[in-house]
Amino acid sequence: MVATMAEETRDPARDIPLGLVASMSAITAVYCAMSLALVMLQRYDRLDPDAAYAVAFASVGMGWARYVVAAGALKGMTTGLLVGALGQARYTTQIARAHMIPPFLALVHPRTRTPVHATILVTACSACVAFFSSLDVLASVSSISTLFIFMLLALALLVRRYYVRDATPAPALRKLSLLLALIVGSSVALSAYWNSSYSDRWAGYAVLVPLWLASTLALAVLVPQQRAPKVWGVPLVPWLPSLSIAMNLFLMGSLGYAAYIRFAICTAVMVVYYGLFALHATYDMAHQEDKFAESKDDEGVGDGDPDVLPRN
């Protein structure tokens, strides 16, 4: 959720990368320390999957610690809900600015400079969904949606780095499309093979893993990058985004059949809404922005996209 706060930081180009790296490093360190403490309290094969820490503390005569664990869990869930509402409200604000939903949801409070309307809407909707839905349903939908979004973000990063409209040569565009299809296809096939009845056979892995590696290597060698980040960018492109695509699709394959049904229903509803209403609204908004940009160009303001690398 750090990235959603870009508009509320003084120097987003510096603060957002530092916040992401620092927060992820701290979370990783805390998780590792908690896991180490847990297995030092009790053998891993004796852990209770429903109340691991409470039972582990009780096994060493510290039964009172279960109250501390319960308080910490309650605090963690409350914090998670608040952080989720914080990030979702910023997403809603951006969607409202594109006029895909009523624009008044993009308004910010004049004193606090926060999207109050979007925050109220997101919090109310989240509370209603949580009240009328079971935990396993929410967990499955949230998991598959998050993994799918992360996969799309990694894919979008590759497209942004390697493609610029009216600047990328047609042969490079064809190579990019083919290699991205191979990366996604090999990742999907690997996930399906792992969850199939043939997962104990090595032949599938011997084909799919080298195919993913070869596709990523070909993208790095054969297709020139068209953009360069201004200040900070994802390193090791295309390897890290390609690995992110493979890992997210692999994890999606471990989810149950019901999760895909729910995800398909939600996606179908959003696609219908986008096709009937949001598409026209965003087109009108983009047309207005183009007219505004043309007026600025006539006044001599702006000199193109500074991220685009010069063509040889």
The DSSP code sequence of 22-80 is HHHHHHHHHHHHHHHHHHHHS-GGG--SSSHHHHHHHHTT-TTHHHHHHHHHHHHHHHH
Backbone angles phi, psi at 308, to 5 degrees: -75, 130
DSSP 100: S
pLDDT at 213: 97
* Three-state DSSP state, 50: coil
25 pLDDT above the threshold of 80:
yes
Q: Are residues 127 and 229 in the same domain?
A: no
Tell whether 77 and 153 lie within a shared domain. no
Q: What is the pLDDT of residue 134?
A: 82
Q: Is residue 47 pLDDT above 80, yes or no? A: yes
| Higher pLDDT, residue 299 or 265 | 265
Would 311 be classed as within a structural domain?
no
Compute the mean pLDDT over every residue in the chain, rounded to the nearest whole number: 86
- 91-100 confidence digits (pLDDT tens): 899 888 888 8
Q: Is residue 268 part of a domain?
A: yes
Instruction: Identify whether residues 236 and 179 lie together within a single domain.
Output: yes
pLDDT band at 248 (very low <50, low <70, confident <90, very high): very high
Residue 243 and residue 218 in one domain: yes
Q: What angle do CA 224, 189, 235 make, to 5 degrees?
A: 35
Q: Which domain holds residue 138?
A: 133-273
Average pLDDT over residues 62-80: 86
Q: Among all chains, which residue has been given the structure tokens 């993208």?
A: 219
* Structural domains in the chain (count): 2
Question: 263 in a domain, yes or no?
Answer: yes
The yes-or-no verdict on residue 18 having pLDDT over 80 is: yes
Same domain, 222 and 153: yes
CA distances from 120 to 78, 93, 101, 267 (A): 17, 12, 15, 24
Residue 48 is given by DSSP the state -
What DSSP character marks residue 309? P
Q: Is the pLDDT of residue 303 over 70?
A: no
128 and 139 in a single domain? The answer is: no
Task: Look at residue 291 and tell me if it is in a domain.
Answer: no
What pTM did the predictor assign? 0.78
Say if 186 falls within a structural domain. yes
Dihedral, CA of residue 276, residue 278, residue 282 and residue 285, to nearest 10: 100
Of the residues 132, 167, 182, the one at which a domain ends: 132
Is residue 214 one of the residues assigned to a domain?
yes
- Give bridge partners of residue 308 from the DSSP assignment: 227
In this prediction, residue 276 carries a pLDDT of: 86
The DSSP annotation for 114-167 comes to: S-HHHHHHHHHHHHHHHHHS-HHHHHHHHHHHHHHHHHHHHHHHHHHHH--TTT
Give the separation between CA 212 and CA 206, rounded to whole angstroms. 11
Lowest-pLDDT range, 147-161, 167-181, 238-252, 277-291?
277-291
pLDDT tens digit sequence for 154-202: 999 999 999 998 889 999 999 999 999 999 999 999 999 998 888 888 8
